[in-house]
Amino acid sequence: MRIGIVGRPHVGKTSVFNALAQSNAVVGDYTSNKQYNLSTVSVPDDRLEPLTKVFQCNKMVPATIDYIDAGGTTQSARNPNVDRPDNLELNAGVLAELRTVDALAHVVRLFEDETVPHVDGNVDGERDIESVNLEFTFADLQIIEGRLNRLEKLLQNQKTPEYQNEFRVLETYKQTLEDGKPLRSLEISDADEKLIRGYGFLSQKPLLLIINISEDQLQDIDNIYKRFSDFETQEQTAVIILAAQLEMEIAQLDPDDAQIFMVEMGLNQSALDRFIQTSYQLMGLITFFTGGEKEARAWTLRKGQTAVEAAGLIHTDFEQGFIRSECINWKDLTECGSYTQARSKGLLRTEGKTYQVQEGDVLNILANPTN
Ligand SMILES: Nc1nc2c(ncn2[C@@H]2O[C@H](COP(=O)(O)OP(=O)(O)OP(=O)(O)O)[C@@H](O)[C@H]2O)c(=O)[nH]1
Ligand SMILES: [Mg+2]
């Protein structure tokens, strides 16, 4: 899973990135538009350790999330119908990276600090949300218009149903964007989703708004949450409040000190834990497990994905040669202590290709060798 961290300049993107990735990328050197930071973090999962006992193995392989800290966007908000920019401010390389992510995390500055000027003159969270949304709208419109022009030419020569269909779909999207709505507001059929997947439209990606507050604002966190909670009523949008600078410092402490510090600050979960929980919910992700004599391993799927899709994630051969899967909930398995016990208690189920994998399932995929 890949998540792109975006936002206006100097709002704390790199600080959030460091808090989540527990890394040390340089903050405050105003990296906008020049480069981006990449990091892979493990998704902490307490269920792996008991599973290593069942599988009698020593190694745990957690699921991972890749973060991309994309640098800032630099111009202020414009109305798409009045003032179209010729060139977008996120540079092409960063945009191309962002098109491949599964979700966007937009860092919104709420902390006040005179030494860190805001490019738009003052701190205004709602304005920044609007302005970054517009940025995504422009970027998507630019792609759609380019493709519509191309399709028009193609359709003059060949009126294939495929081109006609694509033209129709993209026209609807264009209209949606021009009406000021993001593409994530549309219900998109599976067929259309396949058609447009390759474009990686930014306004279609699930959106996590990260409200970046100062340490002092922590006492006002309930009111701040209320202020932004309306955004959660929008499709595929979630809000999370972080004190990025503080949480970045905590992430750099050793775990025992971090724990003490968090209790003092009244934080009951680390930034990473809250971020992961919220983004899994937002994106409808679930975790399943596999195990063997070498390792116990956690994997990420979308809710509704099937056993054969899970098999494909593990190995393409498993997908092609899929016969069936043995399946058991992780808790049932760890309580039984072994597969033999689980089987004798009748807790081990056999599931076919179309079985929808459930949160916490442990799968043992049986497949024919393919070559
Ligand atoms: N007071 C205060 N300063 C913060 C907070 N979060 C970030 N900063 C400071 O704001 C400045 C910018 O933070 P960064 O994390 O580098 O912001 P950014 O969005 O990555 O900036 P660019 O990459 O330049 O767009 C740094 O000097 C940070 O120390 C905060 O919660 N409170
Ligand atoms: Mg930065």
Q: What's 329's domain CATH number?
A: 3.10.20.30
Query: Are both 234 and 337 inside the same structural domain?
Result: no
Q: First vs last Cα of the chain: how many Å apart?
A: 28
Q: How confident is the model at residue 168 (pLDDT cuts 50, 70, 90)?
A: very high
Q: Choose one of 245, 247, 250 to mutate for the ligand 1 pocket test, by most ligand atoms within 8 angstroms of C-beta.
A: 245
**Number of domains comprising the chain:** 2
Q: Which ligand is nearest to the CA of 9?
A: 1
Quick check: is 58 in a domain?
no
Pocket of ligand 1 (CB under 6 A): 7, 9-15, 27-28, 30-32, 71-72, 111, 113, 116, 212, 214, 243-245
229 pLDDT above the threshold of 50 = yes
334 pLDDT above the threshold of 90 = yes
Percent of the chain topping pLDDT 90:
65
User: What average pLDDT does the segment 151-155 reach?
Assistant: 95
Look up residue 324 and give its two tokens: 């069936």
Instruction: Return d(Cα 135, Cα 129) in angstroms, integer.
Output: 10
Look up residue 329 and give its two tokens: 């909930």
Average pLDDT, the chain: 88
Ligand 1 atom with the shortest distance to the CA of 30: 24
Range of the domain at 240: 2-44+63-282
Quick check: is 57 in a domain?
no
pLDDT at 114: 86
Query: Are both 214 and 86 inside the same structural domain?
Result: yes
Ligand 1 atom with the shortest distance to the CA of 107: 19
261 pLDDT above the threshold of 80 = yes
Tell me the HSE value of 264 on the side-chain side, using a 13 A CA sphere: 10
33 pLDDT above the threshold of 80 = no
pLDDT at 34: 52
Q: Which ligand is nearest to the CA of 115?
A: 1
280 pLDDT above the threshold of 80 = yes
Of the spans 1-5, 155-159, 250-254, 327-331, which averages the highest pLDDT? 327-331
215 pLDDT above the threshold of 70 = yes
Quick check: is 40 in a domain?
yes
Minimum CA distance residue for ligand 1 atom 8: 12
pLDDT at 4: 93
pLDDT at 29: 52
Query: Are both 228 and 338 inside the same structural domain?
Result: no
* Ligand 2 center from residue 38 Cα (angstroms): 12
pLDDT at 89: 56
* Ligand 2 center from residue 213 Cα (angstroms): 16
pLDDT tens readout for residues 68-104: 887 655 443 333 343 434 334 566 777 888 999 999 9
Instruction: Return d(Cα 316, Cα 322) in angstroms, integer.
Output: 10
Q: Choose one of 113, 120, 135, 247 to mutate for the ligand 1 pocket test, by most ligand atoms within 8 angstroms of C-beta.
A: 113
* Ligand 2 center from residue 69 Cα (angstroms): 7
Residue 86 and residue 139 in contact, taking contact as beta carbons nearer than 8 Å? no
The count of residues in the chain is: 371
Give this prediction's pTM: 0.86
Query: Are both 327 and 261 inside the same structural domain?
Result: no
Instruction: Return d(Cα 39, Cα 30) in angstroms, integer.
Output: 19
